[in-house]
Homo-oligomer: A and B are copies of this chain.
Amino acid sequence: MIYTHNVSFKTKGDGEIVDLSAYVREAIAKSGTTAGMLTVCTTGSTAGITTIEFEPGLVKDIPALMEKLVPRGPTYQHDATWGDGNGYAHLRSALIGTSFVVSYSGGRPHLGTWQQVVFLDFDNRPRKRNVVIQVMGE
């Protein structure tokens, strides 16, 4: 049994973090299955999917870490190709990854209480973002 759950939302850029937990629960519920695995994929190449404890402190710490590891400052070769100045966002995306997989049973994903699936926006401008949550189970 495969169920595809399409989600879209607007992001402001500049390190915004979106909690996807409600979407994940909704996808499992709508699939009518109770056990299996699900993927959370973004079709953007200037974003990432990972898990964090979604609380105000880490919501500031994550962009600060990204700025330290892959700073916005230097000109990247990508910027020479397109001139849109978001080379750093592409690199952060490759580092974090654009999909996440988690299993579930009893209708609940195998995530901790303080562990939320999140969308990390790295781009330098507002965007409409698409995420596909695909549920495969029984």
Contacts and interface: CB of A to CB of B under 8 A. Distances in A.
B61 A78 contact: yes
Contacts of A90: 52-53, 58, 61
Q: Chain A contact residues: over half helix, strand or loop, or mixed?
A: mixed
A101 B99 contact: yes
Contacts of A93: 51-52
Nearest to A37: B39
B39 A55 contact: no
Nearest to A62: B94
Interface of A: 2, 4, 35-37, 39, 41, 43-45, 50-53, 55-58, 60-62, 64-65, 69-70, 76-82, 87, 90-91, 93-103, 105, 110-112, 114-115, 132, 134, 136-138
5 contacts: A37-B101, A43-B111, A60-B77, A62-B94, A136-B136
